Chain A
């Protein structure tokens, strides 16, 4: 079954710690995205990548970092510089790079809580 997997489903972080959220897809999609969702709010773009070894900042990139060493993987690190990281994080992919005319497929999400 093709799809996007995110792990872990729930993650707890202590203040001052870096944590990494995993996102893997076996859809052979070129583009991948990370969004943050806060209660009652829309999705805000953190980072996106159109091709391997390349990525761009989204609207709220401060305090986050990513890598795209393999086509199928796009991990997100939430660093200690992110002051309010408690949120629901969604990873998505799209079949074609550099195009806004293809649907985005979303993973099941990771709920991060800072203790």
Chain B
């Protein structure tokens, strides 16, 4: 499994963009990059995933480096509700990949009013 490196914590201000980095230098060519977040006292919540191209959805954008050794989750306009622990998880796609989601310690994001 690819190892990931994420900052332990980050801080940002409300209504400003947030860029959450993740290094996954040992990622294999077929691994997808998944992002989940966990709000306080709740279960994790799926955010976004991608393989090679940048991806956008209603929650966030995912920018993947050309060599795929790193990626950045972008919250375009942070709200207080975005305060959570964010997990970056490279894993295979499909059935096998979903079974191998390994949640590391993630990045704890604090949003200041």
- Binding partners A and B: no
Q: Which residues of A approach B to under 8 Å, CB–CB?
A: none
